[in-house]
Amino acid sequence: MRVGVLTGGSDCPGLNAALRAIVRKGVQEYGDDFVGFRDGWRGVMRDETVTLDIPAVRGTLPRGGTILGSSRTNPFQEDEGADRVLGTLARHGVEGLIVIGGTATLGIAARFAEEHGVPLVGVPKTIDNDIPLTDYTVGFDTAVGVATETIDRLHTTAESHKRVLVVEVMGRSAGWIALHAGLAGGANCILIPEQPFSVGKVCEWVESRFRATYAPIVVIADSALPTPDEIALPGVTPLPGSESRFRLSGVGEWLGKEIERRTGKESRTTVLGYIQRGGSPSPFDRWLATRFGLHAIDAVHEGDWGSMTALRSTRITRVRLAEATASLKTVDPELYREASVFFG
């Protein structure tokens, strides 16, 4: 069978592990041959391919990034984009397509499946972990690991200098990394987009922490926002970009300054940024990506089009792409409340 593969959206650790599993099982058990599309949907649109066979995936299991390259191109927003995609798939005789991506990339896949009947299956990856119907997405565990290691490091400097340290982690629309890394790193409080925060409350936690002799570490998702009245407060001058209702660009830096202004405690902000999506995947992500890859090629051979591999407990299951891309998985308020016993 002729199988196409692409990786789209922001890169994250584990993509190569998934590719390797797809190719190993496809070639060895099904006798497939593969065409790799370069840089996500863009490569399909432009008919740019990458060799994808067993030698190409050898030794890639522990490597971050993706040997196929990636992009955020959306063919539905390009001139005749969809037609060009269909043309490329036809030209290569692609009988099944595996799309590895986050919400946006998989959403495009869902449209191609539904509207154009493209025979495809999806594999969910994103460090943000915000895809529903799967316990975890590929890349999340590694990102949590990087963030936790950073928080571990910052504890000593917080202690030695009696400073507030604010750590801004990624999380475009969900606070999963903040929640997990904050819990694992022993943060003093965790601020996520699902729960608008009160700077006043954060300052109380900071001060109670100092009284308990420990210096506080505040973990904040880069999409977290203060409650609306806080933004409107006279003394508060949001950074440029805050006109957005959904995002206060540089929220970590802003919060650090607010804490310093209100409590008089020295405060420093560390923005984690791209480190969170780089480097070698954690064992969990390698295991998850490998299993997703093995099950995705099975789904291709079963013709289970429009499905997405998903983790439920310790089993790999399949869900509908359309459903998995219809909403975002955000942090359950109950989970957040559970974590709040460590705040302050």
Active-site annotation, residues:
128
Q: Which of 92, 96, 104, 17 is nearest to 62 (CA)?
A: 17
Rule CB under 8 A: choose which of 56, 86, 184, 322 binds a second copy: 184
Closest separation in Å from C-beta 114 to a second copy? 28
Element (H, E) at 335: helix 333-339
> Residues 157 to 176: which contact a second copy by CB under 8 A?
157, 159-162, 165
**Interacting stretch for a second copy, rule CB under 8 A, among 87-95, 199-207, 219-227, 270-278?**
270-278
Q: Does 132 bind a second copy (CB under 8 A)?
A: no
Rule CB under 8 A: choose which of 106, 294, 296, 321 binds a second copy: 294
Which residues neighbour 88 within 8 Å (Cβ) at sequence distance 6 or greater?
37, 44, 45, 46, 47
> Residues 207 to 266: which contact a second copy by CB under 8 A?
214
Pairwise CA distance, residues 94 & 33, whole Å: 10
Choose between 226 and 293: whose C-beta lies nearer to a second copy.
Answer: 293
Q: Does 155 bind a second copy (CB under 8 A)?
A: yes
Q: Which two tokens stand for residue 264?
A: 């008089």
Rule CB under 8 A: choose which of 286, 300, 309, 330 binds a second copy: 286
Distance of CA 213 to the CA centre of its chain: 35
Pairwise CA distance, residues 269 & 1, whole Å: 52
| 312 marked among binding-site residues | no
- Provide the 8-state DSSP code for 277: G
Site string for a second copy, 45-64 (x = CB under 8 A): -------------xx-xxxx
- Mapped onto helix, strand or coil, the DSSP state of residue 174 is coil
Q: Which of 290, 1, 3 is nearest to 118 (CA)?
A: 3
Query: How many residues make contact with a second copy (CB under 8 A)?
Result: 72
Rule CB under 8 A: choose which of 1, 231, 233, 275 binds a second copy: 275
- Asked if 141 and 126 touch (Cβ cutoff 8 Å), the reply is no
Q: Does 29 bind a second copy (CB under 8 A)?
A: yes
Site string for a second copy, 310-329 (x = CB under 8 A): --xxx---------------
Pairwise CA distance, residues 311 & 289, whole Å: 10
Annotated binding site for substrate: 126-128, 163, 170-172, 268, 274-277
